[in-house]
Structure 1
Amino acid sequence: MAVPSSDIPLPDKPPKVFDRDAEWQALVTFACDSRPEARLGLVSGRLRQGKTYLLKALTRSLGGFYFGAQQGTQSESLSQLAGEFARYTNASPPPHWHGWEDAIDDLLALGDQRPTPIVIDEFPDLVRQSPSLPSILHSAYRRHDGGRPGRARLLLSGSSLPLMHRLFSTASPLHELSDLHLTVGPLDYRQAARFWGSDDPGLAVLVHAVVGGTPAYRRDYVQDDAPAGREDFDAWVCRSVLNPGKPLFREAYHLLQEEIDHKDRALCHSALSAVATGCSTQGQVADCLGAPLTDTARCLGLLREHRLLHGAADAFRPSLVRLRVAEPLLAFEHAAVRPHRSALAQQDAVTVWKHARPGFDSMVARSHFAQICRDWALHFADPDAFSARPRSVAHGSVADPAHPGGTDLAAEVVVRGHGGMRNGSLLSVGLARWDEVMDLDHVERLRRLLDLLSDRGEDVSRTRPACFSGAGFSPALRAAEAQGQVVLVDLDRLYGRA
């Protein structure tokens, strides 16, 4: 891709846009590109992540055009677009377009005089109405390439990830035209802590285990109600997340309703419940559901396609794919709340949460803490924490010959670097314990795991044992850290406060 050029000062990010510095820089660089050709960009991301907020801020800052598509017919959408176009251009009456060819030509003409961002939000809704629209766009850009110069900067945005992927895959005619592929994802766990105003890292973990990094859940779904401290967390869950008067109460249901077709929805709910409560492989989910493996595989594939489930290869058994719920609110709902939904209609939230809280602690908070530890190791660890830059971080498990048919030895945080056998050199194996004070016994467990790996031919000569804890470490373990025997990571270190 050619390097964009601009003689237009790039606007500063508006103060109301939290973080998103990299996303804003990418958008304004694209929008202010002064090359004399129409450009095309893609902005994708799941619902509630702030795509629309960013794109409206961009068009306001640069005097661009914004149109938010809706589900409907082609004629209705063209009429709505014509009305917005007329307001933007101060034209009266609105243009009467015979089809999308006319509309696209007029939109691209908005950039005849200067680089102009033109946003069509929820573009997939228009494609469902008009399947030929991608080809019409391709033809319009080809006409502009061979005709008059223009500086339209068309941004197509959408939250239907499977359709956006198909529209802009390497097999799509639009792929070769697009200069920008931007994904707006959830805030990472450190950004989310700042966004929710959580000064206590322990509270930040708990809040993130419920709502993740989705910005809309604070602004629009609980009306800026954030827990005042860890002692207020339970009350906050009751007054915000389990309160039928707040939009967040039914959000997990709506997420699946918006993403998944009705015929698959019931099985998908059950599959999410299975994964959220500890079934981490396709076979385990099928056994839990009592469903044929083919039906389970199709359901899990659908959830992964919509980015509601993540799958990652086991660090020691690459053929084994381990699943986890991608959206924390869905994991919270399906592991902690869904078993008590009927009680919420009959009892107050405080009483129900007392019964639900143990499930949250044992399944949701523990597994979520382990994922935060993996994120830290991959994205935030100091360069010297593991002696080399990590390439991948995953859960890993090994069968223990001392316990045939028994529980595998597992490590929640397995760090690999570049080179070496299998998936890369083994830099570290770590245990993550949300609510345990860790001791030398945990290091002995890791050493046993390393012995098993060595017997299988893995080079563990430079592998560092690591312990991650939300409750702290014993003095003996701290002494082992001082002697260089183990890497210790507590909440302050996870959140960059150590």
Structure 2
Amino acid sequence: MLPRPVEMFDREYEWRALAAFATDPSAGATLGVVSGRRRQGKTFLLRALCQATGGFYFAADEATDGESLRQIGAQIAAHLDSPAPLAFDDWHQVVDALLALGRDRAIPVVIDEFPYLARANPRLPSIFQNALAPLRPERDHSRARLLLCGSAMSFMGRLLSGNAPLRGRAGLELVVPTLDHRLAAQFWGVTDPLTALKVNAIVGGTPAYRREFARDDTPAGPDDFDAWVLRTVLSPTSPLFREARYLLADEPDLHDTAMYHSVLAAIAAGNSNRGGIANFLGRKSSDLAHPLTVLQDCGLITRDPDVFKDNRTSFRIAEPLVTFYHAVMRPVWSDLEHTRDARRLWERAQRRFVGNVLGPHLERLCRHWTQHFAPDQLFGDYPSRVGSGTVNDPANRTSHELDVVAFGLDDDNRSPLLAIGEVKWGETMGLGHLERLTRIRALLTAQGRHGAAGARLACFSAAGFTPELRDRATVDPAIVLVGPADLYA
């Protein structure tokens, strides 16, 4: 196995997958697809892979088809130490030249930003398909490990799907994700859990935001958080200031950017269902089918079904910086652009920051922690599915929202209810919150929900818990209390 570069933070899983693919000694050229949102370190991974193996790396530009042919001809010639650039008339010749690089040994051959090339020449996926056809000598006599990489999530998602030309041709499909909240805290060097949560709610787990964008400027502690926000995200001289706007511009499928920004603003304002978004925009609900689908395909929003209601769906913004931009920055954008001191604007935005950024982010993070990081047996079994849900209360003619709902999986492949939970950012949770959860559990039991009677009651709070609630939790194992420190334990 190739040693992982010492300067690489985490990415052990991704490195192992790429190294195993690139060094596979089997005969015949193979294809891999690497995707992920921008700034996640894909290029770093692939460049490091090529450096470790003597592979070929080509980064495409936004250029005409002819210019790209000249560029890759020059790059292949440089790789082969050829005295003159190679001249190619079309991409069939290029792909065969790339396959020839693996004639003597297994070698990674990387084409980064592949969507740029395909935009100039839409036939490229078909050309690669034909080049990798079975019983083709150029393929069979090569051990080139072709890796196509791109950040345009909508395009990369279609590359291997449905009736796409390359469907069935790839031996590797790797999506490079953002760092989870625990790894992100380590990467940013933030040790205080509450500060780590706040930082993660703004910049998420995107590695480049610390190194290239903030130039390693990290909060020195809880008292430095506000000053850090002012000197990085809210400073017009910082690349982070306009990054959320550029993320939309990076996606080729987002043509009507005004509509997409408005949809994201509606979600950031707390309108999570289609009807609420439509009311915010002053449009019909049916008008939103296309923009919501495109934003989902681009990875900018996620669609979360209600765990108790099949016909109810919530839409959530997947990129924290986009949420922060639309909830905090966009309403005062002109003022932010023209002020040298955004301190007063940041102070006035605290209510939006807590209600529209921190609260929803903590809810999503608690669901993720429950499914992937909760201690063994904390909820009686391993959660197989975690989401949010709405429970009807017919007697009181109302409904109750649950921020965390965890299901297990029994021997009969049924999904017993393991836990229900509530999440609060700035509110100390007490016996009143416990009584509400107890009431909801009784409703679910009465509705015949499998496992509801024994479901644990989980209280998640960034502000802590009253002594009375803590006392109850010490004697009742069905009560689970989770604070910031637990999320990072």
Which category describes the TM-score, using the shorter chain as reference length?
over 0.9
Please state how far the C-alpha of 1:171 moved relative to its aligned partner.
2.4
Aligned partners of 1:425, 1:346: CA distance in 2, in Å? 55
Partner residue, 1:34? 25
Please state how far the C-alpha of 1:367 moved relative to its aligned partner.
0.9
Partner residue, 2:350? 357
Superposed, which structure 2 residues align to 1:14-413 within 5 Å? 14-142=5-133, 145-146=136-137, 148-259=140-251, 263-347=255-339, 348-404=341-397, 408-413=399-404
1:37 and 1:144 in contact (8 A); partners too: no
Aligned partners of 1:262, 1:461: CA distance in 2, in Å? 47
- What SS does the corresponding residue of 2:89 show, helix, strand or coil? coil
Aligned partners of 2:437, 2:412: CA distance in 1, in Å? 20
Aligned partners of 2:438, 2:362: CA distance in 1, in Å? 22
Partner residue, 1:3? none
Q: Which amino acid aligns with 2:101?
A: L
TM-score norm. by structure 1 comes to 0.94
Aligned partners of 2:171, 2:255: CA distance in 1, in Å? 37
1:192 and 1:213 in contact (8 A); partners too: yes
Aligned partners of 1:159, 1:253: CA distance in 2, in Å? 16
Aligned partners of 2:395, 2:85: CA distance in 1, in Å? 78
Aligned partners of 1:345, 1:94: CA distance in 2, in Å? 46
Partner residue, 2:419? 428
Please state how far the C-alpha of 1:146 moved relative to its aligned partner.
4.4
Q: Which runs of 5+ in 2 are unaligned?
A: none
Q: Which amino acid aligns with 2:407?
A: R
Query: Cα–Cα, structure 1 residues 167 and 449, in superposed 2: closer, same or farther, change >3 Å?
Result: same
Q: Which piece of structure 1 moves more, 134-143 or 85-94? A: 134-143
Aligned partners of 1:399, 1:276: CA distance in 2, in Å? 26
Q: Which piece of structure 1 moves more, 415-424 or 335-344? A: 415-424
Q: Which runs of 4+ in 1 moved over 3 A?
A: 143-148, 260-263, 419-423
Superposed, which structure 2 residues align to 1:451-470 within 5 Å? 451-459=442-450, 460-470=452-462
- What SS does the corresponding residue of 1:399 show, helix, strand or coil? strand
Query: Cα–Cα, structure 1 residues 287 and 209, in superposed 2: closer, same or farther, change >3 Å?
Result: same
Cα root mean square deviation, aligned:
1.7
Query: Cα–Cα, structure 1 residues 92 and 346, in superposed 2: closer, same or farther, change >3 Å?
Result: closer
Aligned partners of 1:403, 1:258: CA distance in 2, in Å? 49
Please state how far the C-alpha of 1:167 moved relative to its aligned partner.
1.6
- What SS does the corresponding residue of 1:48 show, helix, strand or coil? coil
Please state how far the C-alpha of 1:225 moved relative to its aligned partner.
0.6
1:485 partnered with 2:478: yes
CA deviation digits over 1:300-335, x for unaligned, max 9?
Answer: 111111110011111211221111110000001111
1:450 partnered with 2:434: no
Percentage of pairs with the same residue: 44
Q: 1:440 aligns with which of 431, 436, 461?
A: 431
CA deviation digits over 1:385-441, x for unaligned, max 9?
Answer: 11111111111112333443x5x3111111011259998211100011111211111
Q: Which piece of structure 1 moves more, 64-73 or 259-268? A: 259-268
1:437 and 1:471 in contact (8 A); partners too: yes
TM-score norm. by structure 2 comes to 0.96
Partner residue, 1:7? none
2:455 and 2:478 in contact (8 A); partners too: no
Q: Which runs of 5+ in 1 are unaligned?
A: 1-9
Q: Which amino acid aligns with 1:128?
A: R
Q: Which piece of structure 1 moves more, 262-271 or 42-51? A: 262-271
1:311 and 1:322 in contact (8 A); partners too: yes
2:157 and 2:297 in contact (8 A); partners too: no
1:421 and 1:458 in contact (8 A); partners too: no
